[in-house]
Amino acid sequence: MTGFFLSQIQGLDPLTSDEVLVAQNVFFALIALVMILAALKMVTTENIVHAALYLVIVLAGAAGMFILLGAEFVAVTQILVYIGAIIVLFLFGIMLTKGSFGTEEGELRERNRMAVLVAVLIVAVTSGSFIDSFRDAELNRQAPSTTADIGDSIFGQFIIPFEAISVLLLAALIGSVVIARRDQ
Protein backbone atom coordinates (compact mmCIF):
# COMPACT_ATOMS: atom_id res chain seq x y z
CA MET A 1 0.00 0.00 0.00
CA THR A 2 2.80 2.38 0.93
CA GLY A 3 4.49 1.38 -2.26
CA PHE A 4 1.30 2.01 -4.08
CA PHE A 5 1.07 5.59 -2.78
CA LEU A 6 4.66 6.26 -3.68
CA SER A 7 4.14 4.94 -7.16
CA GLN A 8 1.08 7.13 -7.58
CA ILE A 9 3.03 10.23 -6.60
CA GLN A 10 6.14 9.56 -8.61
CA GLY A 11 4.73 7.48 -11.41
CA LEU A 12 6.74 4.41 -10.44
CA ASP A 13 5.67 0.84 -11.06
CA PRO A 14 4.99 -0.66 -7.63
CA LEU A 15 6.07 -4.10 -8.70
CA THR A 16 9.46 -3.29 -10.16
CA SER A 17 10.92 -0.01 -8.94
CA ASP A 18 13.65 0.01 -6.31
CA GLU A 19 12.38 3.18 -4.66
CA VAL A 20 9.20 1.40 -3.70
CA LEU A 21 11.19 -1.46 -2.22
CA VAL A 22 13.29 0.96 -0.17
CA ALA A 23 10.15 2.68 1.05
CA GLN A 24 8.63 -0.67 2.02
CA ASN A 25 11.72 -1.64 3.97
CA VAL A 26 11.84 1.70 5.75
CA PHE A 27 8.21 1.36 6.73
CA PHE A 28 8.81 -2.20 7.86
CA ALA A 29 11.70 -1.18 10.10
CA LEU A 30 9.72 1.69 11.63
CA ILE A 31 6.58 -0.33 12.28
CA ALA A 32 8.49 -3.35 13.57
CA LEU A 33 10.45 -1.21 16.02
CA VAL A 34 7.32 0.47 17.34
CA MET A 35 5.54 -2.90 17.62
CA ILE A 36 8.33 -4.55 19.60
CA LEU A 37 8.71 -1.58 21.95
CA ALA A 38 4.97 -1.41 22.53
CA ALA A 39 4.79 -5.17 23.13
CA LEU A 40 7.59 -4.97 25.67
CA LYS A 41 5.89 -2.06 27.44
CA MET A 42 2.63 -3.97 27.37
CA VAL A 43 3.89 -7.01 29.23
CA THR A 44 5.85 -4.98 31.78
CA THR A 45 3.60 -2.02 32.59
CA GLU A 46 1.89 -1.94 35.96
CA ASN A 47 -1.19 -0.19 34.67
CA ILE A 48 -3.72 -2.37 32.88
CA VAL A 49 -5.31 0.48 30.92
CA HIS A 50 -1.91 1.45 29.58
CA ALA A 51 -1.30 -2.17 28.69
CA ALA A 52 -4.52 -2.22 26.64
CA LEU A 53 -3.42 0.91 24.81
CA TYR A 54 0.01 -0.56 24.09
CA LEU A 55 -1.80 -3.59 22.71
CA VAL A 56 -3.64 -1.26 20.34
CA ILE A 57 -0.30 -0.06 18.99
CA VAL A 58 0.87 -3.63 18.41
CA LEU A 59 -2.39 -4.54 16.69
CA ALA A 60 -2.27 -1.47 14.47
CA GLY A 61 1.33 -2.30 13.64
CA ALA A 62 0.29 -5.81 12.65
CA ALA A 63 -2.34 -4.29 10.36
CA GLY A 64 0.45 -2.23 8.78
CA MET A 65 2.45 -5.40 8.25
CA PHE A 66 -0.50 -7.05 6.55
CA ILE A 67 -0.72 -4.11 4.15
CA LEU A 68 2.99 -4.34 3.40
CA LEU A 69 2.41 -8.02 2.64
CA GLY A 70 -0.45 -7.22 0.28
CA ALA A 71 -3.16 -8.72 2.47
CA GLU A 72 -5.47 -5.75 2.53
CA PHE A 73 -8.63 -7.55 3.53
CA VAL A 74 -6.92 -9.12 6.53
CA ALA A 75 -5.56 -5.70 7.48
CA VAL A 76 -9.02 -4.14 7.39
CA THR A 77 -10.47 -7.03 9.39
CA GLN A 78 -7.65 -6.67 11.89
CA ILE A 79 -8.55 -3.02 12.45
CA LEU A 80 -12.31 -3.54 12.54
CA VAL A 81 -12.43 -6.66 14.67
CA TYR A 82 -9.31 -6.48 16.78
CA ILE A 83 -8.96 -2.80 17.45
CA GLY A 84 -12.62 -2.00 17.03
CA ALA A 85 -14.18 -4.82 18.99
CA ILE A 86 -11.69 -6.84 20.98
CA ILE A 87 -9.89 -3.88 22.52
CA VAL A 88 -13.19 -2.28 23.43
CA LEU A 89 -14.14 -5.55 25.12
CA PHE A 90 -10.89 -5.47 27.02
CA LEU A 91 -11.48 -1.90 28.16
CA PHE A 92 -15.00 -2.81 29.28
CA GLY A 93 -13.62 -5.79 31.15
CA ILE A 94 -11.05 -3.61 32.88
CA MET A 95 -13.64 -1.00 33.80
CA LEU A 96 -16.14 -3.52 35.15
CA THR A 97 -13.53 -5.21 37.33
CA LYS A 98 -12.31 -1.96 38.80
CA GLY A 99 -10.95 -3.72 41.87
CA SER A 100 -7.90 -4.71 39.93
CA PHE A 101 -7.52 -1.31 38.31
CA GLY A 102 -4.10 0.22 38.56
CA THR A 103 -1.22 -1.80 39.84
CA GLU A 104 -0.84 -5.49 40.32
CA GLU A 105 1.54 -6.76 42.91
CA GLY A 106 3.11 -10.09 43.68
CA GLU A 107 5.42 -10.40 40.73
CA LEU A 108 8.12 -12.82 41.67
CA ARG A 109 11.68 -12.03 40.70
CA GLU A 110 12.59 -15.68 40.45
CA ARG A 111 9.75 -16.38 38.08
CA ASN A 112 10.69 -13.33 36.10
CA ARG A 113 14.20 -14.55 35.46
CA MET A 114 12.92 -17.93 34.31
CA ALA A 115 10.44 -16.28 31.97
CA VAL A 116 13.14 -14.09 30.42
CA LEU A 117 15.21 -17.20 29.86
CA VAL A 118 12.31 -19.02 28.21
CA ALA A 119 11.50 -16.04 26.00
CA VAL A 120 15.11 -15.57 24.87
CA LEU A 121 15.38 -19.29 24.18
CA ILE A 122 12.24 -19.20 22.04
CA VAL A 123 13.50 -16.26 20.00
CA ALA A 124 16.90 -17.86 19.53
CA VAL A 125 15.54 -21.25 18.47
CA THR A 126 12.77 -20.01 16.19
CA SER A 127 14.83 -17.25 14.56
CA GLY A 128 17.71 -19.66 14.17
CA SER A 129 15.58 -22.18 12.36
CA PHE A 130 13.96 -19.45 10.21
CA ILE A 131 17.38 -18.18 9.14
CA ASP A 132 18.55 -21.72 8.58
CA SER A 133 15.52 -22.67 6.48
CA PHE A 134 14.63 -19.55 4.53
CA ARG A 135 17.95 -17.68 4.48
CA ASP A 136 17.45 -14.70 2.16
CA ALA A 137 14.29 -15.86 0.46
CA GLU A 138 12.70 -12.79 -1.15
CA LEU A 139 8.98 -12.22 -1.02
CA ASN A 140 7.59 -12.14 -4.51
CA ARG A 141 6.51 -8.68 -5.48
CA GLN A 142 2.97 -9.15 -6.52
CA ALA A 143 -0.25 -7.23 -6.67
CA PRO A 144 -2.26 -7.38 -3.44
CA SER A 145 -4.51 -10.40 -3.18
CA THR A 146 -8.09 -9.57 -4.00
CA THR A 147 -10.94 -9.87 -1.58
CA ALA A 148 -12.79 -11.89 -4.20
CA ASP A 149 -10.12 -14.59 -4.02
CA ILE A 150 -10.46 -14.76 -0.27
CA GLY A 151 -14.24 -14.92 -0.52
CA ASP A 152 -14.03 -17.73 -3.07
CA SER A 153 -11.73 -19.63 -0.79
CA ILE A 154 -13.86 -19.16 2.34
CA PHE A 155 -17.13 -20.05 0.65
CA GLY A 156 -15.56 -22.83 -1.37
CA GLN A 157 -12.95 -24.96 0.29
CA PHE A 158 -13.44 -23.63 3.80
CA ILE A 159 -17.21 -23.52 3.95
CA ILE A 160 -17.42 -26.11 6.76
CA PRO A 161 -15.07 -24.31 9.16
CA PHE A 162 -16.85 -21.08 8.25
CA GLU A 163 -20.23 -22.48 9.25
CA ALA A 164 -18.64 -23.97 12.35
CA ILE A 165 -17.34 -20.53 13.33
CA SER A 166 -20.89 -19.19 13.23
CA VAL A 167 -21.98 -21.92 15.65
CA LEU A 168 -18.95 -21.14 17.79
CA LEU A 169 -19.77 -17.44 17.97
CA LEU A 170 -23.41 -18.16 18.87
CA ALA A 171 -22.39 -20.64 21.58
CA ALA A 172 -19.80 -18.23 22.97
CA LEU A 173 -22.38 -15.44 22.99
CA ILE A 174 -25.07 -17.42 24.80
CA GLY A 175 -22.62 -18.94 27.24
CA SER A 176 -20.97 -15.62 28.04
CA VAL A 177 -24.33 -14.00 28.77
CA VAL A 178 -25.25 -16.81 31.17
CA ILE A 179 -21.88 -16.69 32.89
CA ALA A 180 -21.63 -12.91 33.17
CA ARG A 181 -25.19 -11.99 34.10
CA ARG A 182 -26.18 -11.44 37.69
CA ASP A 183 -28.48 -14.12 39.07
CA GLN A 184 -31.43 -12.99 41.14
Partner 1 sequence: MLLNQFLILSAVLFSIGVYGVLTRRNGVMVLMSIELILNSVNINLVAFAAFREAIPGEVFALFVIAVAAAEVGVGLAMVLLLYRNRRNIDLAGIDSMKG
Partner 2 sequence: MSTNLLIVAFERPAIDWHAVAPEIVLLSVGVLITLLDILFLEKARPYMAALSGLGILATAIPLLTLGIDGTERVLFDGAYVVDNFSLVLKAIFLLAGYVVILLSTNYIVDGDYWESEYYGLLLASLMGMIMMASSRDLISVFVALELLSIPAYLMVAWRKRDPKSNEAGLKYYLMGVFASAVMLYGMSLLFGVSGTTVLSEIADSIDAGNGSSSVMTLGIVFVVAGFAFKVSAVPFHTWAPDVYEGAPTPVTAFLSVASKAAGFVALLALIFVGFYELSNIWEPLIWILAALSMTVGNLVALRQTNIVRLMAYSGVAQTGFMIAPLAVAGHSLSTGNQALSAIVTYLAIYAAMNLGAFAVIITLARRTGSAEIDSFSGAFHFAPGLTVAMTIFLFSLAGIPPLGGWFAKFEVFRVLATSGETWGYLLAVVAAINSVIALFYYATIARKMWADDPSEKDLNNIEVTPSLVSALAICVLVTLLFGIFPQLVARFTEVSLLAFGV
Residue 70 — left, alpha, or beta (φ > 0 → left; ψ -120 to 50 → alpha)?
left
Q: Which is nearer to partner 2, 106 or 156 (CB)?
A: 156
* Calpha distance 89→95 (Å, rounded): 10
* Calpha distance 184→177 (Å, rounded): 14
> Given candidates 4, 28, 73, 90, which one binds partner 2 under the rule CB under 8 A?
4
38 Cβ contact partners less than 8 Å away, ≥ 6 residues apart: 54, 55, 57, 58, 61
Element (H or E) spanning 175, and its range? helix 159-180
Closest CA to 154 of 142, 167, 164: 164
> Given candidates 9, 96, 139, 160, which one binds partner 2 under the rule CB under 8 A?
160
Q: Is 160 in the site for partner 1 (CB under 8 A)?
A: no
Q: Which is nearer to partner 2, 101 or 155 (CB)?
A: 155
> Given candidates 100, 133, 140, 184, which one binds partner 2 under the rule CB under 8 A?
133
Min CB(12)–partner 1 separation in Å? 16
Residues that bind partner 2 (CB under 8 A): 4, 125-126, 128-130, 132-134, 146, 148-149, 151-152, 155-161, 163-165, 167-168, 170-172, 174-176, 178-179, 183
